[in-house]
Amino acid sequence: MKWNWLLAVASPVLLAMALSGCGKGTPEAAPSAVAIETEPPLPPVMGAEKRIVALGDSLFAGYGLEPGQSYPARLEAALRGRRINARIMNAGVSGDTTAGGLQRLDFTLNSLTQPPALVIVSLGGNDMLRGLPPEQTRANLDAILGKLKARKVPVMLLGMIAAPNLGADYSGKFNPIYPALAKKYDAKLVPFFLQPLIGKPELVQADHIHPTAPGVELLVADTAAQVAEALPQTK
């Protein structure tokens, strides 16, 4: 798979620039566990509210975007446009790794008054960009999905693939993580979350990683139906 929009894979210098875009040195990398957004009014819907937790990194936090333009915010609007009474808690933290997501998972879930109808997990990109051992990424994601299974919470896993310049050995260990864990835990899977942005540099910010607002809309259009299908019909 060719990442011709992700110029960060071309050299160590650009990879470091990519890390600075995702890392905790950015203003978006606040210590709070949940991003706070000012969102526009949502379409009115009927029926029981379906709470969704979006556990992720800068791709959820809305790095480089205006308030209300993040993937969770726009996904919520798209689901409500489908007449689904969805409320999404944006638990996206810029620079977060799978270890960070695992560490704050219980706190995030315990802050809710009732279990969520669905948790969407998008973590692992920063593990890969930092060259962390794939075995560590797999173990952390396994623990996250295990905790959610123990709580009987359905999961949708948004997959990531390794940058080609990390080598075939790394890719061979990293890329199978998401489909293997989705199968193990019977989780819904998007094999590669950023796939719709491939070959569309105009939909990616100057750091060559994060989507622009129109790029987010494309990601939402690509995944909204799958999220809707992943929601339990009885909640």
Structure tokens at 34: 């949940």
Question: What 8-state DSSP symbol labels residue 211?
Answer: B
Nearest Cα residue to 220 out of 107, 69, 94, 53: 69
96 labelled catalytic: no
Task: Please provide the DSSP assignment of 56-88 as one string.
Answer: ESHHHHTTTS-TT-SHHHHHHHHHHHTT--EEE
58 labelled catalytic: yes
Q: Considering 57, 70, 207, 208, which one is annotated as catalytic?
A: 207
Alpha-carbon gap, residue 32 to 45, rounded angstroms? 30
Q: Considering 57, 58, 122, 127, which one is annotated as catalytic?
A: 58
**116-135: buried (b, 16+ CB within 10 Å) or exposed (e) per residue?**
bbbbbbbbbbbbbbeebebe
Backbone angles phi, psi at 177, to 5 degrees: -60, -50
Give the angle 110-111-112 at the CA atoms, nearest 5°.
Answer: 90
Nearest Cα residue to 66 out of 24, 43, 94, 38: 38
Residues designated catalytic = 58, 207, 210
